Homo-oligomer: A and B are copies of this chain.
Amino acid sequence: MEQLKKAIRERGKVLSDEVLKVDTFLNHQVDTHLMAEVGKEFALRFKEDGITKVLTIESSGIAPSFMAATDLGVPLIFARKKKSLTLTDNLLVSQVYSFTKQQTNDISVSKDFLTEDDRVLIIDDFLANGQAAFGLIDIVKQAGAHVSGIGIVIEKSFQPGRVKLDEQGYRVESLARLHSLEDGKVTFLDETVSVQS
């Protein structure tokens, strides 16, 4: 998605070989026009798949998935990272290990909102090691629902998440695929010369 790649190039900040800061348009300040376009693009790519729910994870997943769910005409569910007063039982729970924070957190979704009839589109802001994606997949499976696909705003293709999801046969649609952040420079996968046969 060219508009997104342009934002990453011009407004993203490479903090290290593995960390891209995008708080100017995605996960702190939100460029609502761009995130609306991102959501529409997800909806377009999954419009033939009979999606009944979009599932994301708080907080950064909400903005890019809002318009996807709106355009698909289905509810958006955001998994909670911690328990709230009014959400204490009746939960589907999975564990997500965060490499950046080096800790494991529970994520949870109420059993009321996912059933075995659901066809679920999972959306998240980043795909790196795949921990969040597999946590969300686990929750969908616990509900007996179907994972129709995974929509990712920014994929760090140099980390193993994408390969692991591919290996397990999941359909992944990433709107920007980062080949490398080395030397402080963003390179996208489709800008590299392929040497594979």
Contacts and interface: CB of A to CB of B under 8 A. Distances in A.
Interface in A32-68: 32-33, 35-36, 58-59, 62-63, 66-67
Nearest to A68: B32
Chain A, interface residues (CB within 8 Å), range: 35 or more
B75 A28 contact: no
Interface in A87-144: 87, 100-101, 109-110, 112-113
Given A59-B58, A63-B62, A78-B59, A85 B19 contact: yes
Contacts of A19: 85-86
A194 interface: no
A29 B62 contact: no
A69 B110 contact: no
A103 to B, nearest CB: 12
Contacts of A73: 33
Interface string A1-30: 000000000000001000101011000111
A26 to B, nearest CB: 11
A32 B112 contact: no
A100 B83 CA distance: 12
Interface of A: 15, 19, 21, 23-24, 28-33, 35-36, 58-59, 62-63, 66-67, 69-70, 73-78, 80, 85-87, 100-101, 109-110, 112-113
28 contacts: A21-B86, A23-B86, A28-B80, A28-B87, A28-B110, A29-B75, A29-B77, A29-B112, A29-B113, A30-B62, A30-B66, A30-B75, A30-B76, A30-B78, A32-B66, A32-B69, A32-B70, A32-B74, A32-B75, A32-B76, A33-B73, A36-B70, A59-B62, A59-B78, A59-B80, A62-B62, A62-B63, A63-B66
